[in-house]
Amino acid sequence: MARERLEGILNLYKPAGKTSRQAIDPIARWVRPNKCGHAGTLDPLAEGVLVVCVGKSTRLISCIQEQHKVYRAVFLFGQTSDTDDITGEVQINESAPLPSRADVEQALPQFVGAIEQVPPQFSAVHVDGKRAYALARRGEAPELEARTVHVYRIELLDYVQPRLELEIECGSGTYIRSIGRDLGQKLGCGALMSELVRTRIGPFDAESAVPLEDLTRDNLAVHLQPALRAVESLPRQTCTEEGLQALSQGRRIPLELPELATGTSLALVTSVSVLAALGEVRDDGTIQPTIVFVAGD
């Protein structure tokens, strides 16, 4: 008997020691011929929430990546490395005095808001068409430009010299390693990241994530969530059959939520709350579909 074609979103808990690709490789095999991809890469050092999209839900990967992320990170003062974390070539700065808790508390607000951040040399950023980490591994220190990233909140959870634990809420493209590196530079002693746990992406949290070791081909379907879950924070409009037909053809439909401003994104759903499309409000009072899930006749 042929297996059902699986669709949906999996909130996976990635263990440390695996790349994100290694974590989802078995899932990709189980769901073939459907597509499978993940939103927001975690380095091998890191563990935590890895959102896996299956089938048509892969169209939502970029949307999920743009949502707020929350991390719990541990940094060690008085140490630096070429990777900005403990996996690299570590150098101990024994002569630099370690900061006090007050010093740390005074410095942290400078890393909240829209900040300029240089990615780590060992990162996936492209430099002249090549990944920065590939250049760094060859001994070519890539010149990386600062980028604007958004850090919404930093909370100091614990500090016992030299170990600092922070909770960080941030936007897409933020490197947690870089925050630790720059904080260490600011305080004059250096710092590197030794642990990282992603506890949330948008509505997906670590408490409800499925551990990779508990996942099997037979129970995967049970853990898949509907695509609508990924965009539950968006305004929602229920479509008529006529509207669904128009969306399937890429045509605009009338806006029934007049309070929404031009440019607002919203979820368009069927009468049984299945995600049919994502759309954007246009200035003529219509909705232009941007990602369509519903199939035409």
Strands (E), 98-190: 113-117, 126-127, 130-131, 147-160, 163-170
Query: Is residue 43 annotated as part of the catalytic site, yes or no?
Result: yes
CATH superfamily of 8-67+203-229: Pseudouridine synthase (3.30.2350.10)
Does domain 69-201 bear CATH number 3.30.2350.10?
A: yes
Q: What residue ranges do the domains of the chain occupy?
A: 8-67+203-229, 69-201, 234-292
Distances from the Cα of 116 to the Cα of 103, 107, 179, angstroms? 21, 15, 10
Phi, psi dihedral angles at 142 (to 5 degrees): -70, 140
Residue from 148, 193, 186, 185 nearest 166 by CA? 193
Q: Tell me the pTM.
A: 0.91
Residue tagged active-site, from 43, 84, 85, 182: 43
287 φ, ψ to 5°? Answer: -115, 125
Residues of the chain with pLDDT > 70, as a percent, come to 91
Using the predicted structure, report yes or no on whether residue 5 has a pLDDT greater than 90. Answer: no
Considering only the top CATH level, what class is 234-292?
mainly beta
Q: Show the tokens assigned to 253.
A: 């439909």
pLDDT of residue 294: 86
Model pLDDT for residues 178-231, shown as the tens digit of each residue: 999 999 999 999 999 999 999 999 999 999 999 999 999 999 999 999 999 999
Q: What is the pLDDT of residues 112-159, one digit of tens each?
A: 999 999 988 765 555 555 555 555 565 566 677 889 999 999 999 999
Instruction: Judge whether residue 89 has pLDDT over 60.
Output: yes
pLDDT, one tens digit per residue, over 32-74 is: 999 999 998 999 999 999 999 999 999 999 999 999 999 999 9
Domains 8-67+203-229 and 69-201 share a fold: yes
What count of Cα atoms within 13 Å lies in the side-chain half-sphere of residue 14?
A: 32
DSSP state of 182: H
Residues 6 or more apart in contact with residue 222 via CB below 8 angstroms: none
